[in-house]
Chains A and B, each alone.
Chain A
Amino acid sequence: MLDFVAGSDRAIVFAIYSSLIAGSMTVLLFLWVVILRSRLLVRQRRHKAFLDKWRPLLTQVALTEDQTGDDQDLVVPELPKSSLMYFLNEWNVLHDVLRGSAGLRLNTVARQLGVDTAVWKLLNHGRLSDKLIAIATLGHLVESSAWDRIEELLHSHHTLISLMAAKALINIDADRAVLLILPMVTRREDWAAARVSSLLREAGPAATSRPLQQAILDGTPEEAAKLIGFLPTVHRSIAAKVVHEVLQRTVDDRVTSVCLRVADSPLELPQVRHLVNHPRWHIRMRAASVLGRIGYRQDKRLLERLLCDPEWWVRYRAAQALTGLPFIEQKELDRIRQRLDDRYARDMMDQVMAERAA
């Protein structure tokens, strides 16, 4: 047997120490897991007790119109400090699904419970999640005194904080908030289009229409391309006017493409008819869709031509547009299909006609 070399003693010692450290850490982690689980069970019990008591109460407050109109008479039990976060979550969710006087009654309850002052502490000293809920609460409470502080947070580098601040500002004063938010939409790459769209919808067309129109018309092509996507959130007449103006003057393909996505006014027809010959396929595809929405009888020929386009999507949208035209009957569609020499165009018509039939 070879003697155990002196050097490998060190390896054994190293292995044993590593084992001891790993073993101890395992035990500590396990204890932590047990503590976490115990705390979770306690939290779950507390949350259930809170919901049993407060959910019916808050729902009743929100949904029951006070006949006397005197909201000061609302009697609510005391809110323990430990239940503040549960209350804020429940209260904010209700606020987001309800509108009008229900929101006012919820605010009265919150003020009676002293939530309006408690959230300031969360806003200034809380963790990220506390801050988010505090911003949302101040917004729902329409707390004008919080405007400056929330405006500060609108410029936060943290995406969620800035978005939540934008939402709160809209709740407090939509007209004023939109003027602050719109210039940021083009600058903040971290603000997802879906979220901005939600914000603008929440602000409402009255607050959004004019500032958005101005921002699109005054903006660079990049800014316009980004902002045009939000036109469905504004008044239709204004959206149509903006699209018309931009389509007339733009030379940027991206801007044209986004405009076509939202265009639905017959004013655009001459321009759209011209765009079916565009070298870029996605513009031809969108032009075909627009013709399907607003086209006249004479546009059938253009759509028939697009059915023979080399790009699958252009053929598909052209076929959809053609079969969707309100003045075309099945017999005419059959005739068009018969007339087609191009096999791909015929296949596409077959597919879309079968889709329609289904």
Chain B
Amino acid sequence: MTTQDLIFAAQWVFLGYFLLLNAGYIGLNLVSLFGMREYFQGRRIESLPKVYSEHEMPISIIVPAYNEAATIVTSVRALLQLRYPEYEILVVNDGSRDGTLQKLIEEFALVPFPEAYRQRIATQPVKTIYRSAIHPNIRVLDKDNGGKADSLNAGINAARYPLFCGVDADSVLQPDSLYRVLQPFLDDPDTVACGGTIRIANGCRVRDGFIEKIGLPDSTLALLQIMEYLRAFLFGRLGWSPLNALMIISGAFGLFRKEVVVACGGYRTDTLGEDMELVVRLHRMLRKQRRRYRITFVPDPICWTEAPEDLRTLGRQRIRWQRGLAESLTLNQSLMFNPRGGTVGWLAFPFIFLFEFLGPLLEVGGYLFVGIAYWNGWISPDAFLAFLLCAICLGMLLSTSALMLEEISFHVYPGFRNTMLLFGAAILENFGYRQLNSVWRLIGLLQWLVGSKSHWGEMNRGARWSSEDGVGDPATPTAGHSGSH
């Protein structure tokens, strides 16, 4: 085979890959479009009162907290105001060193509580369990440091109710979040897990832990992430959900049937993507057992989270996510093309393996190849420009289609100006941002490959919702457990 043949073949491979990738996502977009239509027509009946009464299952909200002193009190106060008939809040203090526990003790009048704690999932030792003297539905588990997954497991052990909801300490919820995410459990008893759309809180005004006014951020980096989240949630997840092939429920907010999770062994503590790994494992185990189940998704924006506004933090987050994804897939690889794998094993898993797991390798490889080939004169300037243009135009099409889905569904961001800004972001992200993301993800993949040790990085969080006017110190560094996919 000559060099020319190799170049010729490589061109077609990369071009084919880009087209296939985008065609796949456009396909998901179409599924989402139908799913969304059905969902909104159904909401007409939901908007009428008295659809549900007294049958809402009680929920245990588990909040893992590691060095969250800046935000934890506001977060718990906001959780107390959720509109839901019966729920408990379990804050798991994972060996914080910044006075998180002390803040909670002072604010909620916590007293040690003689709980008959049963360890159904192995965790680091729980030192003390506290209960609030003011709010009987608040308990705090003080345990040795073991990471986010370990904290969630401890929370599951202590949870009283049949459903548990893992919530990041810095998540801002909608007052009706629990109602929304519970609906699939009421409609279909086979539902074992349900996630919801996570939105970016940067640019929004937050008061007392709730979104008061929705807006777009000044930071370009945060704006670009808004487009990314729209893509990821509105068709990345909504597209897979009707096929019962959803492979991730964000750790920032997800509702699970406790007994099923316990039977699966809880969250794995040796992975960075414990949220995704759990969902993939649930698919694998339940399919193996030939059980009827549904893992589903509600498109409502039910949880808001703060996005990093500096490249360093963002890069670390994306590297971590990619490693988490790689771990989740490889730990459950037997699901792929498994005779009992169903849509998830035969479609979603291979799709995500090809486009998300191998994606960065092929994307960065594609860009490098075109660049090197042009630099060495192996391809003409026309070819160089044509390939770049193709990648960029397809990217723009995907982002704009996500914007269209947002516009026909929730149109969360009010006014024409915001629509224009989002469209600008949909175009702009294709000039550098997506390529940078691919590089970060490639680093994540390489780190996973060489097996460097998993650990949580520091997250520069503004802790904006802790201040009354919603404008806090933009770079209060905390080392939270959050940063879910």
Contact = CB atoms under 8 A, between A and B. Distances in A.
B401 interface: yes
A344 B118 CA distance: 10
A97 interface: yes
Interface stretch (A12-20, A74-82, A238-246): A12-20
Interface stretch (B40-48, B70-78, B460-468): B40-48
A198 B53 contact: yes
B15 A194 contact: no
Given A29-B404, A133-B44, A348-B116, A8 B419 contact: no
B114 A8 contact: no
Contact of A19 (B41, B54, B393): B393
Given A312-B116, A351-B114, A2 B41 contact: no
Interface in B354-410: 377-380, 382-383, 386-387, 389-390, 392-394, 396-397, 400-401, 403-404, 407-408
B383 A22 contact: no
Given A18-B393, A37-B407, A30 B386 contact: no
Given A132-B41, A160-B42, A2 B396 contact: no
Given A11-B383, A37-B411, A351-B115, A2 B42 contact: no
Interface stretch (A88-96, A262-270, A322-330): A88-96
Nearest to B38: A128
A216 to B, nearest CB: 19
A144 interface: no
B218 interface: no
B389 A26 contact: no
Interface string A327-358: 00000000000000000100110110011001
Given A11-B11, A133-B44, A33 B50 contact: no
A312 B394 CA distance: 56
B186 to A, nearest CB: 5
Contact of B401 (A12, A29, A160, A354): A29
Nearest to A128: B41
B113 A201 contact: no
Interface in B178-215: 186-189
A19 B49 contact: no
A136 B42 CA distance: 13
A32 B113 contact: no
A8 B390 contact: no
B115 A192 contact: no
A136 B15 CA distance: 53
A206 interface: no
Interface residues of A, number: 61
B118 A312 contact: yes
A135 to B, nearest CB: 9
B264 interface: no
A26 B11 CA distance: 24
Nearest to B133: A358
Interface residues of B, number: 61
Majority DSSP secondary structure for residues of B touching A: helix
Nearest to A347: B116
Given A29-B404, A347-B114, A16 B386 contact: yes
Nearest to B396: A26
A94 to B, nearest CB: 10
Contacts of B50: 96, 198, 202
A358 B48 CA distance: 38
A281 to B, nearest CB: 13
B186 A192 contact: yes
A33 B188 contact: no
For the residues of A in contact with B, the DSSP-based class is: helix
B397 A29 contact: yes
Contacts of B27: none
A26 B49 contact: no
Interface in B408-464: 408, 411, 416, 419, 423
A27 B40 CA distance: 26
Contacts of B12: 11
Contacts of A197: 53-55
Nearest to B4: A5
A4 B379 contact: yes
Contact of A33 (B42, B115, B396, B403): B403
Contacts of A18: 15, 19, 390, 393-394
A198 B52 contact: yes
A251 interface: no
Given A36-B407, A129-B41, A197-B55, A30 B423 contact: yes
Contacts, number: 167
Contact of A32 (B45, B397, B404): B404
Contacts of A23: 393, 396-397
A192 B44 CA distance: 17
Contacts of A136: 45, 48
B419 A2 contact: no
Contacts of B347: none
Given A8-B383, A32-B404, A37-B411, A93 B47 contact: yes
B51 interface: yes
Interface string A172-195: 000000000000000000001111
A127 interface: yes
A201 B419 CA distance: 45
Interface string B252-282: 0000000000000000000000000000000
A12 B419 contact: no
A316 B393 CA distance: 61
A15 B41 contact: no
Given A8-B11, A19-B386, A93 B396 contact: no
B131 interface: yes
B397 A22 contact: yes
Interface in B77-115: 113-115
B49 A97 contact: yes
Contacts of B401: 29
A129 B394 contact: no
B136 interface: yes
Contacts of A347: 114, 116
The residue among A40, A192, A193, A344 with the most chain B CB atoms within 10 A of its own CB is A192
Contacts of A350: 114, 116
Contacts of A7: 8
A25 B53 contact: no
Interface string A109-128: 00000000000000000011
A164 interface: yes
B7 interface: yes
A164 B8 contact: no
Interface of B: 3-4, 7-8, 11-12, 15, 19, 22, 40-42, 44-45, 47-56, 113-116, 118, 131, 133, 136, 186-189, 377-380, 382-383, 386-387, 389-390, 392-394, 396-397, 400-401, 403-404, 407-408, 411, 416, 419, 423
Interface of A: 1-2, 4-5, 7-8, 11-12, 14-16, 18-20, 22-23, 25-26, 29-30, 32-34, 36-37, 40-41, 89, 92-93, 96-97, 127-129, 132-133, 136, 159-160, 163-164, 192-195, 197-198, 201-202, 312, 315-316, 344, 347-348, 350-351, 354-355, 358
19 contacts: A2-B3, A11-B8, A11-B11, A11-B12, A12-B386, A18-B393, A20-B393, A22-B394, A22-B397, A23-B396, A29-B400, A36-B404, A37-B419, A92-B48, A133-B44, A163-B45, A197-B53, A351-B113, A351-B115
